[in-house]
Copies of this chain bind each other. A is one copy, B any other.
Amino acid sequence: MTNILPVLDHAIAGVPASLERLFELVRIKSISTDPAFKAECRRAAEWLVAELRSLGFDATVRDTPGHPMVVAHHDGAKPDAPHVLFYGHYDVQPVDPLNLWDNDPFEPAVRDAAGGRRVITGRGTSDDKGQLMTFVEACRAYKETVGALPCRVSILFEGEEESGSPSLKPFLEANAAELKADFALVCDTNMWDGDTPAISGGLRGLVGEEIVIKAADRDLHSGYFGGAAANPIHILADILAGLHDETGRVTLEGFYDGVEETPTQIKAAWETLGKTAESFLGEVGLSIPSGEKGRSVLELTWARPTAEVNGITGGYTGEGFKTVIAAEASAKVSFRLVGKQDPAQVRDAFRAYVRSKIPADCSVTFHAHGGSPAIQLPYDSTLLNKAKSALSDEWPNPAVIIGMGGSIPIVGDFQKMLGMDSLLVGFGLADDRIHSPNEKYELRSFEKGIRSWVRILAALAAR
């Protein structure tokens, strides 16, 4: 393994210059959702291409129907090292309301903050320009010290992440051969806390279903028909109440197929993070975990599947009262998936269950709303463990492998379209105010982020 100490030292020594480059990028107003900033978006892409070319990358601006992509390639020093695709996005959120900003969002600076911290202020410093530049500056540190990158590196910078990524899938499809690497590095997430780096090892999948239950052919008077006519709200309530048993488990046939228990050491590591039910749920005014009994809130939200009713409606819902028996009632239900749960199988099991509860004189219609499997790096994967060890060397606390309850579309797209796992490592903090006024990025995140990528690239290249 390359001696990376000179590279790490160089990274620190180069921070003032690295910051100047980041500032140049932040000053470009690449607000993707506002057509007025179309030229600025292109300018950001061109700036990145120039930057990457200066590092020896074969970098190009690639047109799309929307804002352009940046694609770049660089060989690695060791032919047997893995080929990685780094992903970030150069577009940013709008800055309104401008009067809530303490400083010009497009005039970045390093400023003092509470607790003796130093922060880089400006739109995009955390989401995602500061983050993506940690990787670019790590590459620079390698190039300026050892003259080479330890791995073969491709880069994809998107310019539409903040506006729904309309061009991403077609672009991945059209350029699959070029973009396919051994795995992706995605830098658009947070640390666990300021001292504890985090790797997102899993993202839950999602199945959405809307059901509409129809009973009588019109709304009925509950005096005349009540007690004899089917009430679709009753049928719906029965169905939804039956989705969980008394231990909080989902009752659908085969629902837990493909769900594995979280390894003991992972659960033990989560225990040390100090997220109790009270602290996790206390943020939103709750205190008692509602799901499967005997599991921590982190396990429940990171590693366990769920069934949630996201919306329900039926009958009279206005002011006052109306003694009506509704003709129909409906609910939107979603399932968060983990492990190898099959979205199609879950959907089928749900529909079969619902159908089994519909009286012969009533009917149900289903509307599918999306379905994607969970994404889970095996907890014992080499990729995960190399990254974990590299990050643990850089930061005060060891890195934690966390789950993410929601989904990140790019990770699913890489998996589905390029057959490629993603390693999610980022250095944002929960209080970075991304998408809000006064966005900031910790100077420490920028400095140690650069050094983290130096370490990760070295670790990945090592046998």
Which B residues are CB-close (under 8 A) to A315? 309-312, 332
The minimal Cβ–Cβ distance linking A147 to chain B, given in whole angstroms, is 44
The minimal Cβ–Cβ distance linking A431 to chain B, given in whole angstroms, is 16
**Cα–Cα, bound, A429→B360 (Å):** 32
**Cα–Cα, bound, A290→B217 (Å):** 15
Within 8 A of B (CB), among A220-270: 220-231, 233-234, 236-238, 240-244
Q: Which residue in B310, B320, B326 is a CB contact (below 8 Å) of A323?
A: B310
Q: Which residue in B220, B226, B292 is a CB contact (below 8 Å) of A306?
A: B226
Which B residues are CB-close (under 8 A) to A217? 284-285
Asked whether, in the complex, the Cβ of A323 is within 8 Å of the Cβ of B334, the reply is yes
Q: Which residue in B206, B240, B286 is a CB contact (below 8 Å) of A230?
A: B286
Asked whether, in the complex, the Cβ of B228 is within 8 Å of the Cβ of A281, the reply is yes
Q: Which residue in B233, B288, B310 is a CB contact (below 8 Å) of A312?
A: B233
Which B residues are CB-close (under 8 A) to A392? none
**Cα–Cα, bound, A337→B446 (Å):** 70
Residue A169, interface by CB 8 Å:
no
**Cα–Cα, bound, A370→B222 (Å):** 15
Asked whether, in the complex, the Cβ of A323 is within 8 Å of the Cβ of B229, the reply is no
**Cα–Cα, bound, A204→B224 (Å):** 10
Which B residues are CB-close (under 8 A) to A292? 227
Number of copies: 2
Q: Mark contacts of A273-306 with chain B using CB atoms, 8 A cut-off: 1 yes-contact digit, 0 otherwise.
A: 0000100110011111111100001001100111
Among listed A12-20, A170-178, A400-408, A449-457, interface-contacting one: A400-408
Q: Which residue in B223, B226, B324, B407 is a CB contact (below 8 Å) of A223?
A: B407
Among listed A71-79, A102-110, A208-216, interface-contacting one: A208-216
Asked whether, in the complex, the Cβ of A301 is within 8 Å of the Cβ of B227, the reply is yes
The minimal Cβ–Cβ distance linking A276 to chain B, given in whole angstroms, is 11
**Cα–Cα, bound, A322→B210 (Å):** 11
**Cα–Cα, bound, A456→B276 (Å):** 76
Q: Which residue in B216, B244, B297, B405 is a CB contact (below 8 Å) of A285?
A: B216
Which B residues are CB-close (under 8 A) to A404? 223
Among A242, A284, A289, A292, find the residue whose CB has the most chain B CB atoms closer than 10 A: A284
Which residues on A are within 8 Å of B, measured CB to CB?
204, 206, 208, 210, 215-218, 220-231, 233-234, 236-238, 240-244, 277, 280-281, 284-292, 297, 300-301, 304-306, 308-317, 320-326, 329-332, 334, 336, 359-362, 369-370, 404-407
Known A241-B242, A317-B330; further 7 A-B contacts with Cβ < 8 A: A229-B290, A236-B312, A238-B241, A288-B361, A310-B322, A313-B313, A316-B332
